Chain A
Amino acid sequence: GQNIDQPTEMTATEGAIVQINCTYQTSGFNGLFWYQQHAGEAPTFLSYNVLDGLEEKGRFSSFLSRSKGYSYLLLKELQMKDSASYLCAVRPLQPDGNNRLAFGKGNQVVVIP
């Protein structure tokens, strides 16, 4: 089975940098995804890591360490619109090749002026 752990909530100031952590345990590993979800809306894709290291995409970066079962999402130059829940999702290896994702509970980021 899979176990994905994320802290629940954090508050940060506009313009600041926030790091959201995710630890996981999974039977086989085939990628880790970060999604952003605004209240009442569906998740939107942010980033994908399958190899160790840092992936940078504009103001958002994501890091992966497979040996430690650990990832983080870094949000730079925070904007008010970044207030949302950030979901970590792990894709375990699956014999049927369906590529299901196992989601963490999400970390709620509240950006204040």
Chain B
Amino acid sequence: GAVVSQHPSWVICKSGTSVKIECRSLDFQATTMFWYRQFPKQSLMLMATSNEGSKATYEQGVEKDKFLINHASLTLSTLTVTSAHPEDSSFYICSARGQGAADTQYFGPGTRLTVL
């Protein structure tokens, strides 16, 4: 149980294009999903919290118009990196909040984005 998938697992795009990443909870419903970014040898940095049916909450310093988040259903959240630039190249990881006392976050396998 508590499986989270991400698609695509890796993507290479040209500077200026947009990239959409999907995050799905496969065997449970997730009212809350989280999007993280991780640079090499760095910690996971929370970008935004995505709640089903409402606007995402962005962390300080994260541009909401550049990183568009849509959480249209209880099992799917999407992150779109708009007008990508080389500095956006990173490992993007989503997590879904499980149910139960611990409310553990379960992570997807991540998406490695390379912007040329």
Known: A43-B44, A48-B102, A103-B43. A98 touches B51 (CB 8 A): yes
Q: How far is the CA of A33 from the CA of B101 in the complex (A)?
A: 13
Residue-wise, chain A 94-113 has the 8 Å CB interface mask toward B (1 for contact) of 00101111111110000000
Majority DSSP secondary structure for residues of A touching B = loop
Q: How far is the CA of A96 from the CA of B31 in the complex (A)?
A: 13
Question: Cβ of A87 and Cβ of B43 under 8 Å apart?
Answer: yes
**How many residues of chain B are within 8 Å of chain A by beta carbon?**
24
Q: How far is the CA of A106 from the CA of B38 in the complex (A)?
A: 12
B85 to chain A, nearest CB (A): 23
Known: A99-B97, A100-B34. A48 touches B44 (CB 8 A): no
Taking CB atoms, residues of chain A closer than 8 Å to B105 are 33, 45, 99, 101
Interchain CB contact (< 8 A) of B109 among A41, A98, A100: A41
Task: Say yes or no for B103: interface residue by CB 8 A criterion.
Answer: yes
Interchain CB contact (< 8 A) of A31 among B46, B102, B110: B102
Task: Say yes or no for A44: interface residue by CB 8 A criterion.
Answer: yes
Q: Which of chain A's residues has its CB closest to B31's CB?
A: A98
Residue-wise, chain A 26-47 has the 8 Å CB interface mask toward B (1 for contact) of 0000010101000011111100
